[in-house]
Structure 1
Amino acid sequence: MLPINFLVELGILSLILMATRFARAGRRLAVAVLVILSLVAFSPLGKLLLYPLESRFPQWDASRGAPDGIIVLGGSVDPDLSAAHHTAVVAHAADRMLAPAALARRYPNARIVFTGGTANLISTDAKEADYAAPILENLGIAKERLIVERDSRNTYENAIFTKQLVAPKPGERWLLVTSAYHMPRSMGIFRKAGFDVEAYPVDFRMGGREDLFIFTNMGTDGLVRTDLAMREWIGLLAYRLMGRTGELLPGPARD
């Protein structure tokens, strides 16, 4: 359950309580929920939570030479909406689609892998990879260069299935393209799976350190940032407890 959803449910509970003999507790709960929602929406809380995630890995150093392959994590294309409208629907994180197209032009010998099926608990025929592949082809990536993994349901399966699919050889260099806030968890998972990749963060949600304490006038921005960050921190903790990452907040490899 996402944090904002939980607050909304608490707000509904407060209204229910106000209609019972626990009305006083309901009013107190309503006030608490309103204060917390205001804090989340208009304060820098979301930025403070996002910044350590987005800044954990630096921009990729192109001076080290051409990569052998580029892995693109799913999360941009909504497979259910795409199936409903019979066309690819890029719902968010469009940089995850645009960046590999630019990299493919810069490094014509690199293999391109898109990994992503569906995150739905109930299996459906709509797979993200089926709709993402034509987008990448329309952006200039030749079909014969594109490797598609369509069965994974989460980042852990992205790593496991992609490693099985491409069988990386010792000494090969692979880039991992995903949203900057999602990069620490992704890198930790790939490392734990024994797939050595290099971070190529995209889809930044905030600027640098100077943005940290700027209050926002757009409440929805604050809610979105806080929701994204809380979900990612919860994911980091859960994956660490499950042994799918080697540390709570994975960072750049130590030389």
Structure 2
Amino acid sequence: MFYYVSKIAWFFTTPSNLLLSLILFGLILALFGRLRKLGLGFALLMTVATIALGLLPISTYLMVPLEERFPSFNDDGRPVDGIILLGGSAEASDSAARGRLVANESAERVLDTIELAHRYPQARILISGGGGGVFGDGVGESPIIADYFKRIGVDAARIIIEDRSRTTSENAIYSLEMAKPRENERWLLVTSAWHMPRAVGVFEKAGFPVTAYPVDFRTGSGTNNHRPFAFVSDGLRRLDVGTKEWAGLIGYYLTGRTNVLFPAPQASSVAVGSASR
């Protein structure tokens, strides 16, 4: 129930959708004589807000704390026993229809996992991601990505397919169930940098200690983060992503899916199987 309620609620509260809805609401009000000025004024205000939020680097400021929470992976020479690739980088339905991998803007998750697969040839590769759409056809992306890995030469014996999960929380629960990590094993968790705090949080909650391997950064550094956007759509897209992730962190904490509101690297030293469920 939580899954469906959260997906539907987010559709209506996504900043870009909400702003457009508020503009339309103002225009509808303007159809009524007595509310004409109020409606037009409200629609104009929401239009200006949409342009401002799309062009100004406000959404970047929203994303930076998420992406800076976990540092980039530093190979210290310790062996890597497994690599976990979280779903969200492939368009499952389109891939199934085309008969080939159709990646989206998070394709770095797949690319970096391929690099890691070559760097650590003994590591198992767990691909976690089922059909995550409310109104979709339920096509899971993990079998599609797994098939792609096999076609480019990754040994099928190394690949573990987890295709039941629809949420980040389920990613962790089902990954633990399938990987059965042993104590002191090192598993790298590959996902977008802005998604890493929530992802690490749910894996800790499940009792599956992981080492963050953030990819797919959307922000830069220094003065680059203060630059306005060239297109309103770019800023709104980043605003949607950042707002959703902050909402996810709050929602997961309030519903007990994570132990802390904003998971940090120093909180990732939980023993396998020791976390409460």
Asked if residue 20 in structure 1 is aligned to residue 32 in structure 2, the reply is: yes
Identity of aligned residues (%): 40
- 2:207 matched to which residue of 1? 194
Q: Deviations over 1:214-237 (max 9, x none)?
A: 222222221111111011111111
Asked if residue 10 in structure 1 is aligned to residue 22 in structure 2, the reply is: yes
Alignment of 1:25-64 (within 5 A): 25-64=38-77
Moved segments of 4+, more than 6 Å: none
Which whole-Å CA distance do the structure 2 matches of 1:151 and 1:243 have between them?
Answer: 21
Q: TM-score, normalised by structure 1?
A: 0.95
- 1:124 matched to which residue of 2? 137
- 2:273 matched to which residue of 1? none
Unaligned 5+ runs, structure 2: 1-10, 270-277
Q: Deviations over 1:107-138 (max 9, x none)?
A: 11100000001112257352111211122223
Which whole-Å CA distance do the structure 2 matches of 1:90 and 1:33 have between them?
Answer: 34
Asked if residue 226 in structure 1 is aligned to residue 233 in structure 2, the reply is: no
- Of 123, 128, 138 in structure 2, the residue corresponding to residue 110 of structure 1 is 123
Unaligned 5+ runs, structure 1: none
- Of 158, 175, 184 in structure 2, the residue corresponding to residue 145 of structure 1 is 158
- Of 172, 176, 188 in structure 1, the residue corresponding to residue 185 of structure 2 is 172
Shift in Å, 1:142: 1.2
Which whole-Å CA distance do the structure 2 matches of 1:40 and 1:176 have between them?
Answer: 32
Shift in Å, 1:64: 4.2
Q: TM-score, normalised by structure 2?
A: 0.88
Asked if residue 68 in structure 1 is aligned to residue 81 in structure 2, the reply is: yes
Which whole-Å CA distance do the structure 2 matches of 1:234 and 1:130 have between them?
Answer: 29
Q: Contact 1:101 / 1:139 at 8 angstroms: preserved in 2?
A: no
Q: Contact 2:89 / 2:106 at 8 angstroms: preserved in 1?
A: yes
